[in-house]
């Protein structure tokens, strides 16, 4: 009985410590964002690019993780190239964060970004036929530009998102991405029913596939196997939905994008279709490596 009480007390203290840490993290983030809100968007974006690359990334270990991933995938890079690319990756992440927490500015950029590519025509035809579609991207450029752009074109787009570990930050994050567009569906059981109903009604689902999936299938991604979820391909087959790779590539100036909806992936089987999605994204990553989020442990566990 005493052991149980000690364990309960320990768990209670750990919970309180975690709650305090989450509150402090959230407070610091809100303080930075609130302060920046007084400045024009371009200045906020440039500042977030700087602070991410020079302050946050070194402190939290992002630079080390990026370098490790670059050594794995692009081993022929020289030290100077690797360091420059690492800085540019973190700068893009900083700009993306600023944009996601400036939803009205993001919407304005999306309206000014021309959507192109054969996938857009296919999506328009699917809309006319009330056929569902799944638009798939990765953590590249700014993935929400495509979602916002499609909404601006009158498409009924629902976004798939992950629940944040910090409950205070999660609510703030959800409020901001909701301002970009709704509906939104939480990954996993909480949002599954709503997501399925959305697809059955002929809607579009926007999703990312480049985060490691612990229960995924090892599939090639830029030269190495990576655990990849096949769920988007499975949904496309189950509900006869188009599967359209789509990307928003940041311009060299750092401001503005070009957005492209590629041809739909042919319906075959989940693994073959997901391989095609990975290949589509890896072409973008190799062409503009500074625009992909190399901070993820994308290849961890695929060889076990």
- The residue out of 104, 135, 165 marking a domain boundary is 104
Share of the chain above pLDDT 70, in %: 93
Instruction: Please enumerate in sequence order all residues whose Cβ is within 8 A of that of 85, keeping only pairs 6 or more positions apart, or say none.
Output: 70, 77, 289, 290
Single pTM value for the model: 0.89
Task: Answer whether 90's CB lies under 8 Å from 231's CB.
Answer: no
Asked if the structure places residue 276 within a domain, the reply is yes
Condensed to tens digits (0 to 9), the pLDDT of residues 127-151 reads: 999 999 999 999 999 999 999 999 9
Residue 4 has a pLDDT of 55
Average pLDDT over residues 23-33: 77
Residue 171 has a pLDDT of 86
- The residue out of 85, 104, 123 marking a domain boundary is 104
Looking at the structure, do residues 269 and 283 belong to the same domain, yes or no?
yes
User: To the nearest whole number, what is the mean pLDDT of the chain?
Assistant: 90
Highest mean pLDDT among 22-26, 37-41, 262-266 belongs to 262-266
Looking at the structure, do residues 185 and 56 belong to the same domain, yes or no?
no
Q: Which of 278, 276, 272 lies closest to 298, judged by CA?
A: 278
The count of other CB atoms within 10 Å of the CB of residue 254 is 14
Looking at the structure, do residues 84 and 27 belong to the same domain, yes or no?
yes
User: What is the rounded distance in angstroms from the CA atom of residue 1 to the CA atom of residue 257?
Assistant: 62
Looking at the structure, do residues 22 and 109 belong to the same domain, yes or no?
no
Q: Domain tally for the chain?
A: 2
Looking at the structure, do residues 94 and 116 belong to the same domain, yes or no?
no
User: What is the rounded distance in angstroms from the CA atom of residue 127 to the CA atom of residue 151?
Assistant: 13
Condensed to tens digits (0 to 9), the pLDDT of residues 100-116 reads: 999 999 999 999 999 99
Asked if the structure places residue 259 within a domain, the reply is yes
Looking at the structure, do residues 58 and 197 belong to the same domain, yes or no?
no
Q: Name the pLDDT band for 253 (thresholds 50, 70, 90).
A: confident
Average pLDDT over residues 263-290: 98
Q: Name the pLDDT band for 3 (thresholds 50, 70, 90).
A: very low
Q: Name the pLDDT band for 304 (thresholds 50, 70, 90).
A: low
Q: Name the pLDDT band for 35 (thresholds 50, 70, 90).
A: confident
Condensed to tens digits (0 to 9), the pLDDT of residues 227-239 reads: 999 999 999 999 9
Residue 8 has a pLDDT of 47
Residue 162 has a pLDDT of 86
Strand ranges for the chain from DSSP E: 115-116, 133-137, 157-161, 184-186, 204-208, 217-221, 224-228, 242-250, 257-261
Asked if the structure places residue 303 within a domain, the reply is no
Instruction: Please enumerate in sequence order all residues whose Cβ is within 8 A of that of 156, keeping only pairs 6 or more positions apart, or say none.
Output: 198, 201, 202, 203, 204
- Residue of 13 and 175 predicted with greater confidence: 175
In this structure, what token pair is assigned to residue 190? 């909480």
User: What is the rounded distance in angstroms from the CA atom of residue 153 to the CA atom of residue 135?
Assistant: 14
Condensed to tens digits (0 to 9), the pLDDT of residues 74-97 reads: 999 999 999 999 999 999 999 999
CA distances from 74 to 30, 208, 221, 286 (A): 36, 23, 12, 9
User: What is the rounded distance in angstroms from the CA atom of residue 69 to the CA atom of residue 19?
Assistant: 32
User: What is the rounded distance in angstroms from the CA atom of residue 72 to the CA atom of residue 70?
Assistant: 5
Average pLDDT over residues 215-243: 97
Looking at the structure, do residues 59 and 132 belong to the same domain, yes or no?
no
Q: State which residues form the domain around 185.
A: 105-291
Looking at the structure, do residues 284 and 234 belong to the same domain, yes or no?
yes
Residue 16 has a pLDDT of 46
Three-state SS annotation for 86-112: HHHHHHHHHHHHHHHCCHHHHHHHHHH
How many Cα atoms occupy the beta-carbon half-sphere of 280 within 13 Å? Answer: 25
Asked if the structure places residue 296 within a domain, the reply is no
Asked if the structure places residue 185 within a domain, the reply is yes
Asked if the structure places residue 194 within a domain, the reply is yes
The count of other CB atoms within 10 Å of the CB of residue 262 is 20
- The residue out of 61, 88, 104 marking a domain boundary is 104
Classify residue 280 by burial, with Cβ atoms within 10 Å: 0-12, 13-18, 19+: buried
Looking at the structure, do residues 81 and 48 belong to the same domain, yes or no?
yes
Looking at the structure, do residues 281 and 140 belong to the same domain, yes or no?
yes
Asked if the structure places residue 302 within a domain, the reply is no
Asked if the structure places residue 297 within a domain, the reply is no
User: What is the rounded distance in angstroms from the CA atom of residue 89 to the CA atom of residue 49?
Assistant: 10
Looking at the structure, do residues 39 and 115 belong to the same domain, yes or no?
no
Looking at the structure, do residues 212 and 251 belong to the same domain, yes or no?
yes
Q: Name the pLDDT band for 254 (thresholds 50, 70, 90).
A: confident
């Amino acid at each position: 009985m005493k052991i149980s009480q000690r364990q309960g007390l320990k768990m209670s203290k750990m919970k309180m410590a975690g709650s305090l840490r989450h509150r402090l993290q959230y407070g610091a983030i809100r303080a930075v964002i609130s302060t920046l809100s007084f400045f024009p968007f371009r200045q906020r974006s440039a500042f977030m690019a700087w602070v991410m690359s020079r302050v946050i990334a070194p402190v939290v270990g992002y630079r080390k993780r990026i370098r490790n991933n670059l050594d794995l995938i692009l081993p022929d890079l020289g030290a100077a190239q690797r360091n420059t690319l690492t800085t540019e990756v973190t700068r893009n992440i900083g700009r993306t964060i600023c944009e996601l927490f400036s939803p009205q500015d993001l919407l304005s950029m999306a309206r000014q970004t021309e959507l192109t590519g054969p996938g857009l025509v296919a999506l328009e035809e699917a809309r006319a036929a009330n056929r569902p579609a799944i638009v798939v991207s990765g953590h590249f450029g700014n993935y929400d530009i495509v979602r916002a752009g499609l909404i601006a074109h009158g498409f009924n787009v629902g976004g798939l998102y992950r629940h944040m570990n910090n409950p205070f930050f999660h609510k703030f994050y959800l409020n901001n991405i909701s301002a970009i567009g709704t509906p939104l569906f939480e990954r996993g059981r909480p949002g599954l029913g709503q997501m399925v109903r959305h697809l059955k009604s002929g809607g579009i689902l926007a999703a990312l596939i480049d985060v490691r999936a612990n229960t995924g299938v090892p599939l090639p991604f830029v030269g190495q196997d990576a655990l990849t979820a096949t769920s988007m391909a499975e949904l496309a087959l189950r509900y006869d939905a188009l599967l359209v790779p789509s990307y928003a590539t940041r311009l060299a100036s750092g401001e503005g994008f070009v957005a492209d909806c590629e041809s739909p992936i042919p319906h075959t089987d989940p693994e073959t279709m997901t391989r095609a999605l990975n290949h589509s994204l890896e072409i973008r990553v190799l062409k503009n490596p500074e625009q992909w989020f190399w901070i993820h442990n994308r290849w961890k566990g695929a060889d076990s």
